Amino acid sequence: MTVPKEMPEKWARAGAPPSWSQKKPSWGTEEERRARANDREYNEKFQYASNCIKTSKYNILTFLPVNLFEQFQEVANTYFLFLLILQLIPQISSLSWFTTIVPLVLVLTITAVKDATDDYFRHKSDNQVNNRQSQVLINGILQQEQWMNVCVGDIIKLENNQFVAADLLLLSSSEPHGLCYIETAELDGETNMKVRQAIPVTSELGDISKLAKFDGEVICEPPNNKLDKFSGTLYWKENKFPLSNQNMLLRGCVLRNTEWCFGLVIFAGPDTKLMQNSGRTKFKRTSIDRLMNTLVLWIFGFLVCMGVILAIGNAIWEHEVGTRFQVYLPWDEAVDSAFFSGFLSFWSYIIILNTVVPISLYVRPKACSQDPCRWSISSPPCSPSLTSCPLCSVEVIRLGHSYFINWDKKMFCMKKRTPAEARTTTLNEELGQVEYIFSDKTGTLTQNIMVFNKCSINGRSYGDVFDVLGHKAELGERPEPVDFSFNPLADKKFLFWDPSLLEAVKMGDPPTHEFFRLLSLCHTVMSEEKDEGELYYKAQSPDEGALVTAARNFGFVFRSRTPKTITVHELGTAITYQLLAILDFNNIRKRMSVIVRNPEGKIRLYCKGADTILLDRLHHSTQELLNSTTDHLNEYAGEGLRTLVLAYKDLDEEYYEEWARRRLQASLAQDSREDRLASIYEEVESDMMDKLQQGVPETIALLTLANIKIWVLTGDKQETAVNIGYSCKMLTDDMTEVFIVTGHTVLEVREELRKAREKMVDSSRTVGNGFTYQGKLSTSKLTSVLEAVAGEYALIINGHSLAHALEADMELEFLETACACKAVICCRVTPLQKAQVVELVKKYKKAVTLAIGDGANDVSMIKTAHIGVGISGQEGIQAVLASDYSFSQFKFLQRLLLVHGRWSYLRMCKFLCYFFYKNFAFTMVHFWFGFFCGFSAQTVYDQYFITLYNIVYTSLPVLAMGVFDQDVPEQRSMEYPKLYEPGQLNLLFNKREFFICIAQGIYTSVLMFFIPYGVFAEATRHDGTQLADYQSFAVTVATSLVIVVSVQIGLDTGYWTAINHFFIWGSLAVYFAILFAMHSNGLFDMFPNQFRFVGNAQNTLAQPTVWLTIMLTTAVCIMPVVAFRFLRLSLKPDLSDTVRYTQLVRKKQKAQHRCMRRVGRTGSRRSGYAFSHQEGFGELIMSGKNMRLSSLALSSFTTRSSSSWIESLRRKKSDSASSPGGGGADKPLKG
């Protein structure tokens, strides 16, 4: 920080804070933040944001005017209001005003009720968060204050398991040296604990009286969204102390394993890093919605053209013919010329023909404004329950699809009791068009929970279970898990299926004992025993916890540690090992070791790490063992498991003493300290013996087969990113080449991208595909020949290189190269860069994107993508609150897209095609009738039929099809991923399909009008009187229309349910019932002015000629459709037709369907140890800073009695919910 020139030099030397203008910092322009402890009056001068969260939009007074204003900003609502005004003008309207006002008021009311309900939940959630209690130090006394009353500069006391209310500077804690442990799942999705430490000068301020006197001032960076960075200075007692991110507790974190701590509020409310990362809630529309906006403009233009044609016709007719009938057909008083009559006729026809733009397609829900600031666990989703009405068919269909997702038992996680949740009703059909998936790593792909699955000990593999025929049992077919009831300290949640491993432990097999002894000693886990025999492990990563838990269940229970000892209960006997050294893990070493001395005085080094590292350090005498273990590693790798190797080495006393001396010297070196230590560690970690394997699967092959491209955007290092790729099977040994971009300058990055493109093109030339390389990408058209290159490539790019690649002059080159690769992994990326990558693909590829993540660092990416998915359950809920859909496991994404998404897209497309067809067929009859009624704007149908046609007669059948229809069953959707491609290519509803529907509707309207017109011209009744009259013609045309559109939807329906049958045939029955009722004597007697056509329906439909006319019209309208579909099915069937035919054949042959088997990766092994592990707490443990004074005296625990070994293992029935989901080949390291 610079010191102002006018500041006296003595103050600068003393470290006093520089002067500060008392002007309020404007949003986004604040240059630095000042906060003085225990001085609210001083801090209020800067008018910083309060800690109050507000996501609601309305209050009781503003709701009605604001909501109506928002609704009438929708063009559709304004359009129909305009039509209503026209209908109130007698000289224009030939329809009653209620035909428009009833649906308009209904739509406005339902939307208002929905908005009010959503805002009520926002108010409720805001109040729940804002009214949480926090202990604030005020006037030297701890007082309970609501979160919304917490201010910058306040000192807050937090207790164990409490959420952090604001961004705090850690002052002191109950732990030694001001340490505290936090869980940051709400921020980054990681459940492993992190350590924060107060600066030494404040770590002793644990007493209330001392804290009350604390008047230090913090000057730091302004509010920003960088979760892993903080820069500031504390000025206190004429000294200044640097502050970093290690001293900060961010809002959204949870205090863990720390009795209490005190913190100084630096950022509050919207200024916190959590809120800065929330981004702006964007209103998302589907590609179909965007297409509809264009189509509606075309329809409106078509409507205007029809109105102009008919208006011109009216003016000509009135001028040439109408003037001759002025005696008994006089013009209205306001009409003084044929031209003006045509002008009025134009507006009349606009009213009559407006049904080509149905209001039901314009009920649009507001953007679901769930905000990540509302991180209360009980924050509700946007309620979609009030979006349905008889008119808003689109939203009813979307609502139904959302409930199908919510109710899907196959997407329900039994272990976490977490269902899938559609948090919006507007994007369901977009799920069927996804081309790019952007995924975070931690907790999303890895799911951040690890399970011990298989192991290889002394050349023997454990973990596979075989049936009575000797075949390997698959997941879901496995018998009962191993019974660990002999061990009172066993973790009941741990499952393992191979009893032979426990038998080996029971029989005292030395290599097996050494195997689990290593697992129980070589780690940095902390143990906590709250109740007798109830152990809780606090691991820095899920890997550590899974390994120590496995050893615990097999009888090697890690109980406690001090800085110099580790106590383990080995098969019921307490043994204390002297801890001599911890050689900590980092991403360069990719291994961790401990050196311990057992009670007999023997010194042994235990090591665990990546197989690619440890196998090179084994003693040459282990070659035979190495070969068998390598075979097992390759086998496990083929199943997609994450691998890890254990090894040990005995050390003699003299060598250890000399090595320890050199290690001490290296640790005290002033220069190259890390290199010297690495060399010392390398020396001792050699000539070891080999042991273990463990793994995690990632199943994304199905999405790849569906032509969905998956990019991983992670904050991990490059080495970890490579392991991610192989574990997820995004990277394989069969790939032609994996490009790694690590340039630090623009020129370096550009050159590396250029070389990658050249290699891909050169490789394509060698296989003779005739490509010619184009060196520069056209900005007008991104489609590149590179996307068709031969071979499979992958691109891995670092965050610093990505920053250059995303610059305006290079982003197209980066995108061209990335899109030509099968797999793309971006490592060390910031939350902003994640969003920028998504935005880049959206901008140039014009493809539907989906982002999936689990932490606050994924919120921007989730909001930027067309569809955002949050992983719920294990980690925080920040991503869930910002998402459109949520579920607990990444694998559910397959079902969300390939089943629900594909069906939603199919149903919506069929719905829209049919909707436009039936409305054009209905409306265009008025157009043709205009040429035969003097262009007088007379309607063919009576006004009640016009009102009820879309509401009653045709709404439910199309609704049933839009909600329930499916082309193939869900099993086939998963079995044939290629069925997903029509949605990506937008084949089912586009401009071409729209014009086909319109043409069919116009064709139907022509036949609907002219066939009855031609028949009625010459037809007579059975008594010889003329059949033709206006009322009879209207009934015949209306009846023909209802029957034709009902038969048409029957042809369009691919999946019949009882509801479909009831709605289609029930709608026909309702039509005839209403028709006869409206033409009855009873209604005429009650309302003679409204129901004039007494007995018309009965008389008309009693004529055989009328029924023959209706049947002829129906046949002529439907037969071309049937013939076309028959020919298409015979000559050019699509994949869904083929799948349906195959299914029909299978049913006939009663052949049992054989499920697809997932193909495992084979080839060279790939270690996953660096996958989620991070640099450990080894130095902290050895220093003893993280341990209480009482713990330092603990060297052993009293041996507790355990039950005797049972002769045979008792088998228990495994929980069906947890066995396949809890481990096995599909999820060995699972979540």
Q: What are phi and psi of 1203, to 5 degrees?
A: -65, 155
CA terminus-to-terminus distance, the chain = 45
Strands 689-690 and 460-462 turn out to be unpaired
Report how far residue 1229's alpha carbon sits from residue 693's, in angstroms, rounded to the nearest whole number. Answer: 12
Strands (DSSP E) found in 539-640 = 556-561, 565-570, 573-583, 591-597, 603-609
Distance CA 1229, CA 1231 (A): 7
Residues 6 or more apart whose Cβ sits within 8 Å of residue 763: 736, 737, 789, 790, 791
Six-digit token string for 629: 């273990």
Q: Which parts of 892-1047 are beta strand (E)?
A: none
DSSP letter string, 240-279: EEEE-GGGEE-TT-EEES-SEEEEEEEE-GGGSHHHHTT-
What DSSP designation does 428 have? G
Q: How does DSSP assign 700-765, residue by residue?
A: -HHHHHTT-EEEEE-SS-HHHHHHHHHHTTSS-TT-SEEEEE--SSHHHHHHHHHHHHHHHHHHHH
Q: Which of 104, 100, 105 is nearest to 352 (CA)?
A: 100
Closest CA to 739 of 649, 810, 854, 826: 826
Opening angle at CA 772, ends 770 and 773, nearest 5: 140
Under DSSP, the state recorded for 190 is -
CB 1013 within 8 A of CB 1019: no
Helix/strand/coil for 174: coil
Nearest residue to 605 (alpha-carbon basis) of 575, 582, 574? 582
Rounded Cα–Cα distance for residues 716 and 190 (Å): 12
Does the annotation count 440 as an active-site position?
yes
**Residue 312 burial by Cβ neighbours in a 10 Å radius (0-12, 13-18, 19+):** middle
DSSP one-letter string for 1107-1157: HHHHHHHHHHHHHHHHHHHHHHHHHS--HHHHHHHHHHHHHHHTPPPPPP-
Q: CB neighbours of 351 closer than 8 A, spacing ≥ 6?
A: 83, 86, 87, 92, 93, 94, 95
Q: How far is Cα 584 from Cα 709, in angstroms, rounded to an integer? A: 37
All residues at 6 or more sequence positions from 161 whose CB lies less than 8 Å from its CB, including other chains: 254, 255, 256
Planar angle of CA 895, 795, 434, nearest 5 degrees: 25
Q: Quote the CA–CA distance of 1217 and 299 in Å, as a whole number.
A: 53
Q: Which two tokens stand for residue 20?
A: 């500060």
b/e map 406-426, b = 16+ CB within 10 Å: bebeebbbebeebbbbbbbbb
- How many helices and strands in the chain, by DSSP H and E? 43, 33
CA distance 738 to 796: 7
Question: Could you give the C-alpha distances from 541 to 160, 185, 374, 1169, 1205, in angstroms and in order?
Answer: 20, 13, 27, 11, 32
Catalytic residue among 440, 858, 884, 942: 440
Q: Which two tokens stand for residue 258?
A: 């720390």
Residue 557 · residue 569 · CB < 8 Å: yes
Q: Which SS3 state, helix, strand or coil, does residue 497 take? A: coil
Nearest to 292 by CA among 350, 384, 360: 360
Q: Which residues are catalytic?
A: 440
